[in-house]
Amino acid sequence: MASESVPTSTLASANTADSGEPEIISGAAAVVRTLELLGVTDVFGLPGGAILPVYDPLMDSKKLRHILVRHEQGAGHAAEGYASASGRVGVCIATSGPGATNLVTAIADAYMDSVPILAITGQVFSHLMGTDAFQEADIVGITMPITKHSFLVTKAEDIPSTIAAAYHVCSTGRPGPVLVDITKDAQQAMAPFIWPPVIDLPGYRPVTKAHGKQITAAAELILESKQPVFYVGGGIVRAGAAAELLALAEAIGAPVVTTLMARGAFPDSHIQNLGMPGMHGTVPAVLALQDADLLITLGARFDDRVTGKAELFAPNAKVIHVDIDPAEIGKIRQVEVPIVGDAKDVLPDLLGAYAELSNGKKLEISEWWATLNALREEYPLGYTEPADGLLSPQYVISRIGEISGPEAVYASGVGQHQMWSAQFIKYERPNAWLNSGGAGTMGYSVPAAMGAKVSQPDRTVWAIDGDGCFQMTNQELATCTLNNIPIKVAIINNSSLGMVRQWQTLFYDGRHSNTDLNTGHDTVRVPDFVKLADAYGALGIRVTKKSEVDAAIKLAIETNDRPVVIDFVVSADAMVWPMVPQGVSNSYVQYAKDHAPTWDTDE
């Protein structure tokens, strides 16, 4: 996400009484008014005793749309989906104690994936804090390791400045979640409302101007390279730097790989795109990184799912690392040229330096491309039709992408369907692919799709979920039905916890301990997803034959008066390939489909 400043425009009538003096309002009213003045238009939440004062003035707001969720985790993931699809800050609200702790999973998820969400929680009365009062939890302490910052507000007069500061922190620099916990007495007390507020954040410098010498050094390394690769992470999406990346990549002519979090940052249709690297990446992407002599690393963090065994990752490569967060540079991999800065600013500077030094010529890397193109020819991304006669999940997901097109939004759960969605849907633009990459949170998909649809009402929004993930947060279908949020849900129903089952097949001698869910392949379906959809006021469809797939997808796209749930009954034996096992070198990328290969994880 590009840096954004706190809005300071204001209406006098909103800030002053008739006398010209600041208006005296309650802390609760200050919460609502501050959100309005920051430009927030949508919030996801669920009321409770400690946040109840805020819900009274919220009812009168003409600028804030409050969407009542069925579980606070859903509010958090909805805020994530809202932010990830739109680039705006997502806002969620919860009460104290269990209400606040129910947000923790979503907050941790947002922290891992650099998603800008603002979480506002109620807290017990100040004089009761520390007494184990009813529904008391130290949510500031609990969330401190998983937020950019957590604030505690005990005075009404501090509410506008604190919320404005929190909004600024979560949306600038490396974006991420910020929590504001407000005691009930601060919400009830009266205080002058002063806008714009004074924001005092000593030491917070979210954006550093990249050093010119480092930019030049990076351009020189690129010109010296024979086998360079652009290693592109989710930071490019958050920075809004897709156009800048395209210009730089085309000028240099080097291959591009986009991580799980960066799908869509560089068009899949582009000839330079080798696909996704990592544990379940394409063969050309994985081996390009492994054999490179230079990694042009942009907004990526050398995650273990990309590197495999880190000390064996890209052993002959020098590294340029561009990141807005200096803590990421050198954390996993030694870097020859570190560049700290916003990618949206750095990439044009790097393009200028490269153009000047190269006199506008592309690199002479035809031999490198010949090697990579041979890999593309030999190892195209594909799949084997299931032997049991059930639907191929890869086919279902590819048809969803082909029929819905690149302008749709795809929010995935976690597991096999997540990897297939990353592999078999073609992404042409940033912010089209939403998923829980770092935390790997089951239950992300449905509420994230809900939030995405709120922020992008004119786009088709799919939640591509597994039958395991779906059962964790499917109650938000009620929220969608009642609030006219017509998302499309594709349940990739293999009647099991698919990715865990795959690991059991490969590494535990096929002993499928507690991974069978019995949701779709037996006579009794528990639950019956079509009946469940009907109970929630959604359109429920079951698809068991290949000939039914396209018609069901098209019906879902055409149905916009309610949510749609399609139960795609697919084979439990389908595997995610390729696969680099955990703890080995990426040189061990495996293509076997008929039997489990043997890996030595000590090599």
Do 410 and 364 lie in one domain? The reply is: no
Both 453 and 561 in a single domain? yes
Residue 602 lies in a domain: no
Q: Are residue 373 and residue 463 in the same domain, yes or no? A: no
Residue 45 DSSP code: E
Contact present, 58 and 64 (Cβ < 8 Å)? yes
Residue 26 token pair? 């309650």
**Residue 120, both tokens:** 């506002």
Boundaries of domain holding 267: 212-378
How many Å apart are CA 264 and CA 426, to the nearest integer? 8
pLDDT of 523 reads 66
- pLDDT given at position 521: 64
Place of tokens 């509410």: 159
Side-chain-side CA neighbours of residue 323 (13 Å): 24
**Is the residue at 83 inside a domain?**
yes
397 belongs to a structural domain: yes
Query: Is there a single domain that holds both residue 234 and residue 366?
Result: yes
Which of the following is catalytic: 148, 184, 344, 488? 184
The pLDDT score that the predictor gives to residue 601 is 42
404 and 357 share one domain: no
Calculate ∠ Cα 94-100-106, nearest 5°.
90
pLDDT at 587: 74
Residue 202: inside a domain: no
Domain shared by 275 and 406, yes or no: no
Which residue has 């998909």 as its token pair? 445
314 with 438, same domain?
no
Domain membership of residue 207 (yes or no) is: no
Residue 9 pLDDT: 38
Say if residues 565 and 540 touch (Cβ distance below 8 Å): yes
CA 543 to chain centre: 29
Identified catalytic residue from 4, 36, 125, 135: 135
Smallest CA-to-CA distance from 296 within 342, 242, 255 is with 255
Q: What is the mean pLDDT of each run of 10 residues along the chain (603 residues)?
A: 41 51 96 98 98 98 98 98 98 98 98 98 98 98 98 98 98 98 98 96 90 97 98 98 98 97 98 96 95 98 93 96 96 97 98 94 93 95 92 98 98 97 98 97 98 98 98 98 98 94 94 90 83 98 97 98 98 91 72 38 39
What is the per-residue pLDDT for 586? Answer: 79
Question: In this structure, what CATH number is given to the domain that contains residue 181?
Answer: 3.40.50.970
159 and 182: one domain?
yes
283 CB-contact burial (10 Å; exposed 0-12 / middle 13-18 / buried 19+): buried
pLDDT at 591: 40
Q: What is the total residue count of the chain?
A: 603
Within 8 A by CB and 6+ apart from 62, the residues are none
Is 416 an annotated catalytic residue?
no
Check if 72 is active-site. Answer: yes
- Looking up tokens 């690392």, which residue turns up? 321
Pull the structure tokens for residue 561. 């008066």
d(CA 86, CA 175): 14
Whether 374 and 426 share a structural domain: no
Domain count, the chain: 3
The active-site residue out of 134, 144, 226, 311 is 134
CATH number at residue 353: 3.40.50.1220
Distance CA 452, CA 411 (A): 8
Token pair 């390791």 is found at 145
Residue 198: is it exposed, middle or buried by C-beta count within 10 angstroms (0-12/13-18/19+)? exposed
pLDDT score at 522: 62
Q: Is residue 507 annotated as a catalytic residue, yes or no?
A: no
Burial class, 348, CB count within 10 angstroms (exposed 0-12 / middle 13-18 / buried 19+) = middle
The edge-to-edge listing of strands for the beta sheet with 539-543 is 433-434, 409-412, 461-466, 488-493, 564-569, 539-543
Cβ-based neighbours of 216, under 8 Å, separated by 6 or more? 353, 357
Q: Which segments of 467-530 are extended strands (E)?
A: 488-493
Q: Does residue 144 have an active-site annotation?
A: no
Confirm whether 184 is a catalytic residue. Answer: yes
In angstroms, the CA 527 to CA 375 distance is 44
The answer on 249 and 188 residing in a single domain is no
476 and 106 Cβ atoms separated by less than 8 Å: no
Residue 148 DSSP symbol: S
Residue type at position 23: E
CB proximity list for 11: less than 8 A, separation 6 or greater: none
> 513 vs 9, 166, 386, 504, 509, CA distance in Å?
59, 45, 22, 8, 11
Residue 373 has which token pair? Answer: 């193109």
Task: Judge whether 71 lies within some domain.
Answer: yes
- Which one of 1, 23, 44, 72 is the catalytic residue? 72
